[in-house]
């Protein structure tokens, strides 16, 4: 019987919990209400701030509460070009301007959006990383659905009532600067979770990993494993449909989609 491997220990939490103590809060759209469904509501960007463990900056936006005499403070993922003191508008009748939030059905085809909802009212879950954006491809008003192109290049059909922010997420090009030294990587992952440095399976002993042991570092068997493998064996390429780099026509097509 081998040791409990790293992949199994991660499931229990313990030292592998996310380091969320200093984070500013979940970045979401407003809860959809009457004002957003039928008209619009005005918000003021009061602060742009860094969120530990996140590449994109956040915007603190204050709205007037539609019912009580108070302010509602929301945290949005900041779009490129947002500034403090900016008024932004959320709702069906909002104009198409950077930072405004409106249903994708109200946007013309070709609009660049971020912080996109996958289901109506989920408050945004697609294209939220720094520099990310999705593109509104086509509408079907009869069925009430919209086709969007995701940051991965794949297309997705979502309800036209799903909201999105106009523009792309701020902080783009973050990955283009090289890390240069291990200390930079240490600090990057320190505020995220315990996932660095990552020891390769082939560098371990057979007791610690299915890829461990043997003279010369090699896996020694297929790196693909089946979906229903037991937890101690489920490492490598899990339930891979295909392996290796894309070659020939598929490779050309993938390169085109990325561009």
- Is the pLDDT score of 2 beyond 90? no
DSSP 47-74: EEE--TT-SS-EEEEEEE-SSSSSEEEE
pLDDT, greater one: 114 or 246: 114
The answer on pLDDT for 257 being more than 80 is no
Average pLDDT over residues 92-121: 97
Residues 116-174 pLDDT 10s:
999 999 999 999 999 999 999 999 999 999 999 999 999 999 999 999 999 999 999 99
Torsion angle of C-alpha atoms 147, 94, 59, 138, degrees rounded to 10: 10
Query: Is residue 255 very low, low, confident or very high in pLDDT (cuts 50, 70, 90)?
Result: confident
- Structure token pair of residue 34: 């009457």
Can you give the pLDDT at residue 55?
Answer: 96
pLDDT tens, 9-58?
A: 999 999 999 999 999 999 999 999 999 999 999 999 999 999 999 999 99
> What DSSP string describes 96-114?
S-TT-EEEGGGSPTT-EEE
Band (1; pLDDT cuts 50, 70, 90): low
Residue 86 contacts residue 46 (beta carbons within 8 Å): no
Query: What's the confidence (pLDDT) of residue 258?
Result: 67
pLDDT at 73 over 80: yes
With contact defined as beta carbons under 8 Å apart, do 165 and 127 qualify?
no
pLDDT tens for each residue of 175-211: 999 999 999 999 999 999 999 999 999 999 999 999 9
Residues in the chain: 259
Residue 169 contacts residue 77 (beta carbons within 8 Å): yes
Over 90: is that where the pLDDT of 250 sits? no
Task: State yes or no: pLDDT of 79 exceeds 80.
Answer: yes
CA distance 93 to 105: 11
According to DSSP, residue 15 is labeled G
Residue 259 has pLDDT above 80, yes or no: no
Q: By CB neighbour count within 10 A (0-12 exposed, 13-18 middle, 19+ buried), where does 44 fall?
A: middle
- Residue 247's pLDDT band, with cuts at 50, 70 and 90, is confident
Instruction: Say whether the peptide bond before residue 75 is cis (omega within 30 degrees of 0).
Output: no
User: Mean per-residue pLDDT for 213-235?
Assistant: 96
Tokens at 245, concatenated? 């780099």
pTM across the whole model: 0.89
- Confidence (pLDDT) at 239: 97
């Amino acid at each position: 019987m081998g040791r409990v491997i790293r992949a199994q220990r991660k499931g229990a939490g313990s030292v592998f919990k996310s380091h969320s103590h200093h984070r500013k809060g979940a970045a979401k759209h407003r809860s959809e209400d009457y004002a957003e469904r039928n008209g619009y509501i005005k918000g003021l960007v009061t602060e742009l701030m860094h969120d530990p463990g996140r590449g994109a900056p956040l915007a603190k936006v204050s709205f007037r509460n539609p019912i009580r005499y108070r302010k509602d403070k929301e945290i949005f993922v900041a779009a490129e070009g947002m500034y403090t003191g900016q008024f932004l508008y959320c709702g069906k009748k909002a104009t198409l301007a950077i930072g405004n939030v409106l249903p994708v059905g109200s946007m013309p085809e070709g609009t660049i959006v971020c912080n996109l909802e996958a289901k109506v009212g989920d408050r945004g879950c697609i294209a939220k990383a720094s520099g990310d954006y999705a593109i509104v491809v086509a509408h079907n008003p009869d069925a009430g659905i919209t086709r969007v192109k995701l940051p991965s290049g794949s297309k997705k059909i979502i309800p036209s009532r799903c909201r999105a922010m106009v523009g792309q997420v701020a902080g783009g090009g973050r990955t283009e600067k090289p890390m240069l030294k291990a200390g930079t990587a240490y600090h990057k992952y320190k505020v995220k979770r315990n996932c660095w440095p990552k020891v390769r399976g082939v560098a371990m002993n057979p007791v610690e990993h299915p890829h461990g042991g043997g003279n010369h570092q090699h896996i020694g068997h297929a790196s693909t494993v089946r979906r229903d493998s037991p937890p101690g064996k489920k490492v490598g390429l899990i339930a891979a449909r295909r392996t290796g780099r894309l070659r020939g026509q598929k490779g050309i097509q993938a390169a085109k989609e990325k561009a």
